[in-house]
Structure 1
Amino acid sequence: MLYQLYEAQRSLMEPFADFAQAASKLYGQSTAFGQAPLAQRIAAGYDLLYRLGKDYEKPEFGIKTVKVDGHDVVIHESVELEKPFCKLRRFKRFTDQPETLKTLKSQPVVLVVAPLSGHYATLLRDTVRALLQGHKVYITDWTNARLVPLSEGKFRLDDYVNYVEEFIRYLQTEYGNCHVISVCQPTVPVLAAVSLMASRGEQIPLSMTMMGGPIDARKSPTAVNNLAMNKSFEWFENNVIYRVPDGFPGAGRRVYPGFLQHTGFVAMNPENHASSHYDYFKNLIKGDDASTEAHRKFYDEYNAVLDMDADYYLDTIRTVFQQFDLVNGTWQVTNPQGERELVRPQDIRGIGLLTIEGELDDISGSGQTRAAHDLCTGIVDSEQHHYEVKGAGHYGIFSGRRWRELVYPEVQAFIAQHDKPQKRAGPPVPVAEDMVRPVTARKATRSAEPATAAARKKAPATQTKRVARKSA
């Protein structure tokens, strides 16, 4: 019922938000009303009211170009694999500079596993933009659960793990190898996916980079951890799970609604958000365009939230924050064939492991991500590295100045240290770096073959839409 009330309230607020936007423009400096006394204050007030009342849709990545070797390289987004709850999105790079093209073709392949914890994958825009300077980049773009019809079934934490495995196999088929970066929540399912692949004897990524995630949420628990640990499983099921109302493709699906998640985000630091909006109001009056635009960009991202499938959310609460199944060695993941497989990080060998934590992280506390080293005992010490970012909070380790100036150089060097020449495991398929300009993609279907005979025997059979690439 709460979801229905929220949607009714949002529908009622929409015309008022539109009115506030129109009134703000009416009192702008370029209009006759803008010359009236207090016009700037009136316009600023209406603009703030509009932004507080508007509906925030999924943002775009909006990465058009990046610099590589001093040259502008054009970026074109494409969907490589499409599954009910996620798209594997690629950022194709194009150039007509022969030397730059040669550089692009030799750079490492990176799968960025974005968090499914309230915000869209676009939260990692700054992460992707930096990585594109030296890597072929793919990212998991998770779908708002209210847009997924009930006919597609439920989505659980085990399905998340299976998705990651399939995406890794796909990149290995395309290039022969890949590296994986997980940010926040996905550090747990990514470690599980690589562990299961290693236990089966499958080819695993060349390196894993884990940033600010709750591998062991018992260490330095934060307010987020305490909420998950101190409330019972039944409390979450009874108080934060609702059904998607009519009017959406996923009507009837049980979800943890995005608007409830957003309320929780704001409740963690209400004074900071109030101060930020007041500063925005004052900057509008002063005409500080740079500051107001920075505020808009941040809150366009921060206020855009998605619904999570209830089963996935509840599985995460129980597995990661209450039973600590990964660190206790008791986590069993169900594969697409319905078989239960024990997650054994100690089976991972011949891979580089880099963990990154922020000194001031108030979401994943100190030591939570570093705990991955204690679990991955099969990786030799010389291939395990930890980096603590001084002065950085949770978002600072993957976005902003500290990410660009401190963290990214560490990640880039670590990946380069563990990279190997790319060799296609399947039939040759032209890649974006082979092309001078993008062409229209066409859809096709093809399953990614595991790298070994043992893997073929146990690898999941999945139904996936694949977008084929074509050379110019």
Structure 2
Amino acid sequence: MLYSMIEMHRAAAAPMRMFARANRIMFESDYNVLSRTEFGKSIAATSSLFESLTRSYGKPVWGLEHTEINGKEVSVDVETVWSDAWCNLVHFQRDPEELADALGEAAPQPRLLIVAPLSGHYATLLRGTVEAFLPHFEVYITDWTDARMVPLFQGRFSLDDYIDYVRRMIGEVGPGSNVLAVCQPGPPTLAAIALMSEDNDPNVPASMTFMGSPIDCRKSPTVPNLLAEERPFEWFEENMIYTVPMPYPGAMRRVYPGFVQLSSFMNMNWERHVDAHWSFFEHLVGDDGDSASKHREFYDEYLSVLDLSAEFYLDTIKRIFQNHELPLGTFMHRGRLVKPSTITKTALMTVEGEKDDISGIGQTQAAHDLCSNLPEDMQLDYIQPGVGHYGVFNGSRFRKEIVPRVVNFIHKFHDTKLESEWNNAFLMAAE
């Protein structure tokens, strides 16, 4: 019912939004004598603010057309190299000739699979993460599908399915690759690699990096962690799950709507968001186009949300946040016990933010205790001072302090011979 009400509200607001857009265009026009007056600027700013707050935000584009390597610009082509109902594997293909020119005699760079979170936002939320790693790696990312866009005949999607998808995509990227999981995918990614290790899968990655991940939510519990534990599981079933209405392709599918997740995150920092929008209004009135543009860019991304399948969301609440199955050694995947202790060949790095209010200090570090048979010289733990959750994978400190450490760690365990063999096979297939 709530989902339908939200859609009705959006439809009802459409005429007012169109009127606001017309007002904004009229009062921003150089042909309007009022456009440079305080009155005209205020009307245009108010209209722009109303328009941004009431419109629907679709899936953002990547907008990554080039990168710079050794001072040389290299073109980037964003392409889907593997696809299924619930996820696409996206490759940021750098132009081979320009890349060879930029690298010179250097060996081929490692392949990096970034496992994006499935927690309400699109994978493009990690645009800055991808951009920072493009000069150093052949980058791939998991691009999860909005559940409201998946027809019912495609079946359900659970936490076990998520693990299967991650394992499949690691295999698609190929042997000797590296995996980096940001936030939510930490536990299922660790589970996937543990299963691969126990099976002696030839595609087991050379390294795995977890950033701000809830591996063990019992450590330094945050507000979201406490909420998940304080409320009974039935409360989440009854209050957080809704039915997708027509005319979406996934009509009648039960989901955890992205707008519910978004409202939860915004309520955690309500005053900050209100201040940000007030500043946006002031920047518009004051002709500060750069600041207003940065605000738009951030909120265009932040307000673009996707739905999660009910099965995946409820599995995550119960198994990760309430039962703590992975750290307690009771995590099962399709009737099979997941054993992180079987990981012996995949190097492990964990990254946490000192001020993280989503995944507290120690939650990601717990991966080291679980990988009990991994040699110490194959492990690295790093806590970034002065950053919160988003600062772990984006922002200036991420680029200046975290990225170099991750790059050095991955290169330390990078198999140059294996990478050259894979690179030659890739080029031959492309020809």
Q: Provide the TM-score with structure 1 as the length reference.
A: 0.88
1:419 alignment counterpart: 414
Query: Structure 1's 37 and 392: CA in aligned 2 closer, same or farther, altered over 3 A?
Result: closer
Q: How far apart, CA to CA, are the structure 1 residues paired with 2:91 and 2:52?
A: 31
1:144 alignment counterpart: 146
Secondary structure of the 1:238 match is helix
Quick one: percent identity of the two aligned structures? 43
Q: Which residues in structure 2 correspond to 1:299-318 (within 5 Å)?
A: 299-318=299-318
Find 1:350's aligned residue among 337, 345, 352. 345
Secondary structure of the 1:63 match is coil
Q: How far apart, CA to CA, are the structure 1 residues paired with 2:402 and 2:26?
A: 45
Find 2:393's aligned residue among 395, 398, 403. 398
Find 1:129's aligned residue among 128, 131, 138. 131
How far off its partner does 1:104 sit? 8.0
1:73 aligns with 2:69: no
Query: Structure 1's 76 and 47: CA in aligned 2 closer, same or farther, altered over 3 A?
Result: same
1:450 alignment counterpart: none
8 Å Cα contact 1:29/1:35 also seen in 2? no
2:171 alignment counterpart: 169
Number of residue equivalences: 427
Residue ranges of structure 1 left out of the alignment (5+ in a row): 335-339, 435-468
Query: Structure 1's 470 and 106: CA in aligned 2 closer, same or farther, altered over 3 A?
Result: closer
Q: How far apart, CA to CA, are the structure 2 residues paired with 1:308 and 1:110?
A: 25
Q: How far apart, CA to CA, are the structure 1 residues paired with 2:422 and 2:194?
A: 24
8 Å Cα contact 1:104/1:135 also seen in 2? no
Amino acid at match of 1:354: M
Q: How far apart, CA to CA, are the structure 2 residues paired with 1:410 and 1:428?
A: 28
Q: How far apart, CA to CA, are the structure 2 residues paired with 1:278 and 1:35?
A: 20
Q: How far apart, CA to CA, are the structure 1 residues paired with 2:19 and 2:79?
A: 37
How far off its partner does 1:350 sit? 1.9
Amino acid at match of 1:194: I
8 Å Cα contact 1:104/1:134 also seen in 2? no
Query: Structure 1's 428 and 418: CA in aligned 2 closer, same or farther, altered over 3 A?
Result: closer
Q: Which residues in structure 2 correspond to 1:281-320 (within 5 Å)?
A: 281-320=281-320
Residue ranges of structure 2 left out of the alignment (5+ in a row): none
After superposing the two structures, state which structure 1 stretch, 96-105 or 52-61, moved more: 96-105
1:114 alignment counterpart: 116
1:233 alignment counterpart: 233
Amino acid at match of 2:119: S
Q: How far apart, CA to CA, are the structure 2 residues paired with 1:250 and 1:29?
A: 41
Secondary structure of the 1:111 match is strand
Query: Structure 1's 70 and 316: CA in aligned 2 closer, same or farther, altered over 3 A?
Result: same
Secondary structure of the 2:214 match is coil
1:252 alignment counterpart: 252
8 Å Cα contact 1:154/1:309 also seen in 2? yes
Amino acid at match of 1:368: Q
8 Å Cα contact 1:109/1:178 also seen in 2? yes
1:201 alignment counterpart: 200
8 Å Cα contact 2:69/2:103 also seen in 1? no
Query: Structure 1's 23 and 49: CA in aligned 2 closer, same or farther, altered over 3 A?
Result: same
8 Å Cα contact 2:108/2:423 also seen in 1? no
Query: Structure 1's 430 and 384: CA in aligned 2 closer, same or farther, altered over 3 A?
Result: closer
2:268 alignment counterpart: 268
After superposing the two structures, state which structure 1 stretch, 14-23 or 347-356, moved more: 14-23
How far off its partner does 1:382 sit? 1.2
8 Å Cα contact 1:196/1:341 also seen in 2? no
Query: Structure 1's 317 and 71: CA in aligned 2 closer, same or farther, altered over 3 A?
Result: same
Amino acid at match of 1:410: R
How far off its partner does 1:428 sit? 6.5
Query: Structure 1's 411 and 145: CA in aligned 2 closer, same or farther, altered over 3 A?
Result: same
Q: How far apart, CA to CA, are the structure 2 residues paired with 1:146 and 1:404?
A: 34
Amino acid at match of 1:157: L
Q: How far apart, CA to CA, are the structure 2 residues paired with 1:31 and 1:160?
A: 55
